[in-house]
Amino acid sequence: MPQDYPALIAHGLDDAHGMAVLNPATGELIASVKTYSGGEIDQVIRAAEAARKDWAAETAKFRANRLRDWFDLIIEHREQLAEICTLECGKPLAEARAELDYAASFVEWFSEEARRAYGEVVPSFASGKAIVVTKEPVGTCAAITPWNFPLAMITRKSAPALAAGCAMVIKPSEATPLSALALEALAARAGIPAAILRIVPSDDPAEVGKLFCTHPVIRKISFTGSTAVGKLLLAQAGSTVKKACMELGGNAPFIVFEDADIDAAVEGAMIAKYRNAGQACIGANRLLVQRTVQGRFVKQLTERVSALKVGNGMEQGMQIGPLINDKALQKVEMLTDAALSGGATRVCGGGRHNAGAQFYTPTILTGVRQDMAIAQQEIFGPVASIIPFDDEADAIRIANDTPYGLASYFYTTDLGRAWRVMGALEYGMVAVNEGLLGTEVAPFGGVKESGLGREGSRHGMDEYLELKYALLGGLGAG
């Protein structure tokens, strides 16, 4: 177990009646955590509302310093947090460390943005009058976070809320509550009032989601997860007209043009497709490769994929961990088998791995068509589906043939093509000649059925602020 592991999550444990948290690599019990009933969560929300007014009244510098202290503690406990992350979600320890650094970056960024919630003075429409626009915190907020990035999803949502002067109540995934509880403990050590950031694990996500969306005190709901659940939450949140930020499903294209640097494209595909065993909403779901270079690209990609080390993320050198549960594994199997039955060709992989019950072998399929289920649904597993295309117009048509619009990737050395395709892709995020696009300094989010709002960057701070317009009259000459 990680050093200081018990201390970081002790406040959230309930060994007698708690919700079991299992290691997906081994099936072993890691811990049992306290779950919250609807009545208990209601009390937490009301306590947050009572506390957030004093928090909002603090100076921006005060809130900035508390967030900075939180950042410092996260970095100080980097190894413990990374190991907790690997134990509960399965990703290789090297990836967990990278996620920890990514998670910490949001706390650092918004500790700085806390000082920059600037208003404005608008030139007046009449003499003797002045127009002032200020930014004020939304209020008490709620969030529901997923299991695949259990550290980063907590900080990406809570840090801007706290910086703005809001309180935040978060229900983490049932599979990965320990990372959230550890971050909560470090926030308290940093001097952030306990009521301002609360983690409320629950084994009834539907009940908690409805409570968050209909509670009269909650003024904003933030959710990362499936589009189906996001639509339900939006409908429920409409009953009280809450602000909403939704980061939903994706179907990311990864396009390789014939003029691309193939070596770089293969390197990017390894990151965009196989990071976290393919369990990422911005992961490359469809690899669109121009026919003239498909053979070379697939050959090089196969060499890399076949060499990936699959196993328990806590073991040194592992690159592909388990899928989060058996349901996820069955979905990957179903999509892969259906594609093969429909005419796709297995290049490598294509079945369960002997590393454990929830491991799937890194796979490459060629001959995939856009009308196949594997090209229409999120795979959320280590399976690369290769779809050939003929020209630029064909690539754009296939890439945009989806109701989703989260992330997209393409490789080209033609500057004109880079500019054209960047503009033509109907996605909230586009990576050109890069396989990894997440950063705290840029707005993260999608269009179409991939969501609403943005996280990260200065725009992420605005999601937790309301504009107030004040008209001052009677300012004529004295």
- Residues identified as active-site: 247, 281
State how far Cα 385 lies from the chain centre.
Answer: 23
Q: How far apart are CA 372 and CA 157, in angstroms?
A: 35
Q: Taking Cα atoms as reference points, which of 246, 276, 257 lies closest to residue 425? A: 257
Distances (CA, A) of 469 to 59, 132, 242: 21, 6, 20
What would the DSSP string read from start to end of 92-114? -HHHHHHHHHHHHHHHHHHHHHG
What would the DSSP string read from start to end of 125-193? SSTT-EEEEEEEE--EEEEE--SSSTTHHHHHHHHHHHHHT-EEEEE--TT-HHHHHHHHHHHHHTT--
Type of residue found at 359: F
Q: How many CB atoms lie under 10 A from the CB of residue 393?
A: 10
Residue with tokens 């592991």: 5
φ, ψ of residue 194 to 5 degrees: the values are: -55, -35
Helix ranges (H only) for 190-290 are 205-214, 227-237, 262-274
Burial 142-153 (b: 16+ CB within 10 A, else e): bbbbbbbbbbbb
Q: How many CB atoms lie under 10 A from the CB of residue 289?
A: 28
Tokens, residue 55: 């928090």
φ, ψ of residue 156 to 5 degrees: the values are: -65, -25
| 252-256 sheet: strands from edge to edge | 345-348, 363-366, 383-389, 284-290, 252-256, 407-411, 429-432
Cα atoms found within 13 Å of the Cα of residue 451, Cβ hemisphere only: 28
**The dihedral formed by the CA atoms of 100, 101, 107 and 108, expressed in degrees to the nearest 10:** 160
Q: What burial class does residue 312 get, using C-beta atoms within 10 Å of its C-beta: 0-12 exposed, 13-18 middle, 19+ buried?
A: buried
Type of residue found at 331: K
